[in-house]
Amino acid sequence: MPAQPPLADLRVIEFLGLGPGPFAGMLLADLGADILSVARPGTTMPAMAENRPVVEADLKSPEGRELVLGLIDRADVLIEGFRPGVMERLGLGPDDTAPRNPGLVYARMTGWGQHGPLAAEAGHDLNYIGLTGALHHAARAGAVPTPTANLLGDFGGGGMYLVLSVLAALHQRRSTGLGQVLDVAIVDGTAYLTAMLHEYRSSGMWSDTAGANRLDTGAPFYDVYRCADGRHVAIGALEPQFFAALVELLGLDPQWSRWRNDQSRWPELRRAIEQAVAGRTRDAWAAAAAGTDACLTAVLDLAEAADHPHLRAREVLVPAPAGQSGWRPAIPAGHRKDAGSAQEVMDRWAADAPAQQDPARAASQKGERI
């Protein structure tokens, strides 16, 4: 019999939005949490919302508000990603929910945070990572910084930071019995991700010039190179022993193992690596590097990644749900489950109180969409 998911006893109500909020909800659901997502009537479902049921509710109507408050009464965690002040105007802010459910962890996910000069302004991943300094180093020397899709801000500094904050608050609740309001901002989480760079910079090991550092393509042995077929390999041979293995693999002059820290020779070394890599196809280099410590790997697209033997062995990507093509990411401690319909979830949550005291149960029994 499979082990119980780690968050199986956790109830989460999520107000569906875009980006980091749904990502956090997906992760919590994959870890076993019992999540019910709330959306406006007629809303097009955002990405990463398919592994949990959705109830439609008009939050501006008294009936919709009472339905949601009834669910909040029984939740451990609330996640919302509206602009500051929206939940308060709906009568669903922390001051409205705390008297009803003192143990609720109220998680607020925004880009700029609940306070500060930019709190009320619009923005997206690119804006947040740009302001924190993280985007600046996604560039080669003299080149324009390259957006990293929305992986760094929305999901690394946003969704993951949100889940971490929620779990920390739940741990603290075990000793206090009280929840708390979490002001989770993408700028905060992304800035935290730059901790090592700030430490290096403070000790003189990192330059503010993009593309001039060992980890931002400044070093020729930590970069991406084009192969004979136009595809690419990633080389990350930072340590001396790994660089020596790379020199042997590429057939370079063994003297490079002595010269590698001489930055005046880095342009020459880069040309030597470029010329060597250009002599074979990507997959030929990947095959040649297999079993070595040269730290050379193929740069795969999303479809290719799902078919890589290592990722298959670890079940990192699993087939998409029936009727869909492609793959979905998985995590070792979790699994995609059938959480049931929204009505089934509301009935489960309402079972611990009489129906006449529970607007959610009453509404669900009538089959209403409020």
Euclidean distance between CA atoms 141 and 138, whole angstroms: 10
The tokens describing 229, both together, are 């077929």
Characterize the bridge pairing of strands 296-298 and 232-236: antiparallel
The angle formed by the CA atoms of residues 320, 56 and 330, to the nearest 5 degrees, is: 25
Query: SS3 helix, strand, coil % of the chain, rounded to 5?
Result: 40, 15, 45
Task: Please provide the distance, in angstroms rounded to a whole number, between the alpha carbons at the two ends of the chain.
Answer: 39
Contact 46, 16 (CB under 8 A): yes
216 an active-site residue?
no
Euclidean distance between CA atoms 71 and 349, whole angstroms: 7
Euclidean distance between CA atoms 120 and 246, whole angstroms: 50
Residue of 58, 96, 124, 308 with catalytic role: 124
Give the residue from 107, 112, 109, 118 showing the smallest Cα distance to 191: 112
Torsional sign, CA 141, 144, 146, 150 = positive
**Ranges of H-type helices in the chain:** 20-30, 62-72, 86-89, 94-97, 125-131, 160-176, 186-193, 195-202, 240-250, 256-259, 266-277, 282-289, 302-306, 309-313, 342-350, 359-366
Residue of 34, 125, 154, 188 with catalytic role: 154
What does each C-alpha distance from 66 to 73, 92, 198, 359, 369 come to in angstroms? 10, 10, 47, 6, 13
321: left (phi over 0), alpha (psi -120 to 50) or beta: beta
Q: For helices 240-250 and 266-277, what crossing angle results, to 10°?
A: 50
124 an active-site residue?
yes
Catalytically active residues, by annotation: 124, 154
